[in-house]
Structures are given as C-alpha cells and as structure tokens.
C-alpha cells in the first residue's frame, strides 16, 4: 500500500497522536489531531477537502447532543484564502462545525451536534479538514 501525506507517520506526528506538536505529551490524556505533519520541517501538499478524522459507531437512542472540546492551532504557513474546519459528523453529514484561519488559534469549548431525533447506532466522527474559502 502506498503511503500518503496522511498516513506515512500515523500516530507519531500525523493523524491522531498522544503528543503535542512540540513532542510533549498532550495534557490530561487528550489527543492531538494533525492534518499534514506536526514535525517541523516536514511539508506536504494538501488540497481542499483533505481531512483527518476519528469515527465510531454510537447508539444515539437516548442522546440529545454529541459534544467535542477542541483547541485548533492553524499554522501561519497555511495559504491565504484557506481555513481549517472542525466538525462533528453523524452518518457522513456535518451536524456542527467551526472554522479557524491561518495563523490563528481557537478554543472550541462546546462544539455540539443535536442528535435528539436519532435512534439506534450511527457512525459519529470528529473531522479536521482543510477548505478553500
């Protein structure tokens, strides 16, 4: 299988990792999601729509909301006119999202997707994507 910009170093400095970009452990057991590569000096060509996500099947029968707490830090080297989009997706559909532009940081203390009308098992994902504005 050929390696891509998103899976050449999965778990080390790409995708879902337990270490921050500087190599220090993520705080309090949190995870870091990296689009591209967190290691300084490693660059990849990315296109609009490229993303990294984690997903799992969840029984939403008695749930009203699916929530995520996220801290986004977008590199200043992100091209002008591009942004990162963090989203909660259920069944492949984004039900909640927030954006962050190049060189900015943003704390999302309560990104919430309303799932009160859903029942049974559904695939729930948290996605970080690059998007051209």
Residue 29 — φ and ψ, nearest 5°?
A: 75, 10
What is residue 3's predicted lDDT score, i.e. its pLDDT?
60
Residues 32-78 pLDDT 10s: 766 666 677 777 777 888 888 888 999 999 999 999 988 888 888 88
Q: Kindly indicate the confidence band of residue 116, based on its pLDDT and cuts at 50, 70 and 90.
A: very high
The yes-or-no verdict on residue 23 having pLDDT over 70 is: no
Q: Work out the percent of the chain whose per-residue pLDDT is above 70.
A: 68
H-assigned helices in 1-132? none
Average pLDDT, the chain: 82
End-to-end alpha-carbon separation of the chain, Å?
A: 32
User: Hey, which residues does 101 pair with through a beta bridge?
Assistant: 83
What is residue 111's predicted lDDT score, i.e. its pLDDT?
95
């Amino acid at each position: 299988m050929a390696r891509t910009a998103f899976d050449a170093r999965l778990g080390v400095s790409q995708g879902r990792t337990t270490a921050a970009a500087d190599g220090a452990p993520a705080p309090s057991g949190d995870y870091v999601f990296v689009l591209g590569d967190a290691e300084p000096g490693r660059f990849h060509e990315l296109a609009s729509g490229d993303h990294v996500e984690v997903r799992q099947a969840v029984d939403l029968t008695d749930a009203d909301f699916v929530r995520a707490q996220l801290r986004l830090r977008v590199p200043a080297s992100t091209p002008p006119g591009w942004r990162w989009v963090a989203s909660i997706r259920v069944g492949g559909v984004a039900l909640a999202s927030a954006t962050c532009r190049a060189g900015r940081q943003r704390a999302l203390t309560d990104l919430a997707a309303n799932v009160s009308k859903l029942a049974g098992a559904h695939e729930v994902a948290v996605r970080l994507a690059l998007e051209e504005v």
